[in-house]
Amino acid sequence: MRIHQKTSYDDDINLFEDRRQAFWYALLVAFAVALPFLISEYHLGEFINLLIWALAGMGLMVLAGHTGQASLGHAAFLACGAYMEAWLNGKGVPFLISLPLAGLFAGIVGAVIAIPALRMSGIYLAIATLAMGIVAEDVIVLLEPVTGGISGTYVGSINLFGLEIDRYANPTNFYWLCLAVVIIVTFGYANLLRSSTGRSLVAIRDSEVSARAMGINVERTKTLAFFLSCLVTGLAGGLMAHYIVSFNYEAFVITVSIQMLLMIVVGGMGSIHGAFFGAAVVAFLPQIITAIRQQITYTAVAGLDTGIFAALLVAIIIVEPMGVYGRWLKMKAWVQLFPLARRDMFRRQKSYLKTERMR
């Protein structure tokens, strides 16, 4: 088993564990850049969908995975980003300005909502965010002059440095644009976790009592987490607007919020990798199920594919509570420790500190 010897505090917070790990990530980025030359435009569209969902997953992961605050209304912030991007695009604002503004608008709305909402925790916070997501659908309909109401709105193509980028006319350029945004956000997210702010988020997730004892301002840190989470989710909403092109409130119903939470749980809570694994499951698993069903029988049964998809997700959560990324880590450790790996070395610890019961 390969062990990395850490000799300083800087080694503990390095972005990459060693050069070998940095090489593999660089190779992954190079493969992602070359992907449009290797697959068809149809499959490229599916990978664009994956990138957008991964971005939304990272947004929710900041709040739920690294701060421990459950949210069942994050589709509302997808809507904030999408409608703000559509409105700014219609006003002729350049994309390099409109997309950050769309994310900033979603982040500010999230921070304002967080001030009263984060006085609650656990199931009460989840119920509050669920109610917020339901109310958001009605707000979108009521703001018809801006959102288009029930009819919805339309977002034009992207003009970037004189290059027109359209999801249908030139999907390769749109893919590279989404990839660039995802890489920038991922890099920023990874650096956030290395900072004192990131460690404060994790401390609050593990135990609010202990975090307060260490001098962390819990309320302010939670509000900051909500702001950052909604900002990243708003960026995903802005890209989603250009991906869907024409949309209304039905694109951001409460089931989308539940799907986002389910996505990061299946992918693996508390890790950036989990957002990508969860997005891959959500983006590709329904397509695989449909393809297999069509090979077996051409008879379409209403709700069958959705039912199978839901059953598989439940099975993944039951079999592996740590998600797909957790299973990957266990398999990696088993291979590295072979033949010394034991069956029960990943047994969950059932005992916990008394302070954990006071959270």
Q: Residue type for 175, please?
A: Y
Q: Tell me how crowded residue 218 is: count the other CB atoms within 10 A of its CB.
A: 15
Mean per-residue pLDDT of the chain: 83
Tell me the one-letter amino acid at 335: V
Cα separations in angstroms, 164 against 37, 61, 139: 20, 32, 32
Token pair, residue 276, equals 């990508």
Over residues 217-246, the pLDDT tens digits come to 888 898 999 999 999 999 999 999 999 888
* Cβ atoms within 10 Å of 210's Cβ, excluding its own: 16
Arithmetic mean of pLDDT, 270-290? 85
CATH classification number, 39-358, choose in 1.10.287, 1.10.3470, 1.20.120, 1.10.10:
1.10.3470
The strand pairing partners of 333, in sequence order, are none
Q: Collect all residues with Cβ–Cβ distance below 8 Å to 63 and sequence separation of at least 6.
A: 69, 71, 74, 225, 226, 229
Where do the domains of the chain lie?
Answer: 39-358
Asked if 144 and 119 count as a contact pair (C-beta separation under 8 A), the reply is: no
Q: Among 89-103, 207-221, 271-285, 326-340, whose mean pLDDT is lowest? A: 326-340
Distance, CA of 45 to CA of 229 (rounded, Å)? 25
| pLDDT confidence band for 52 (50 / 70 / 90) | very high
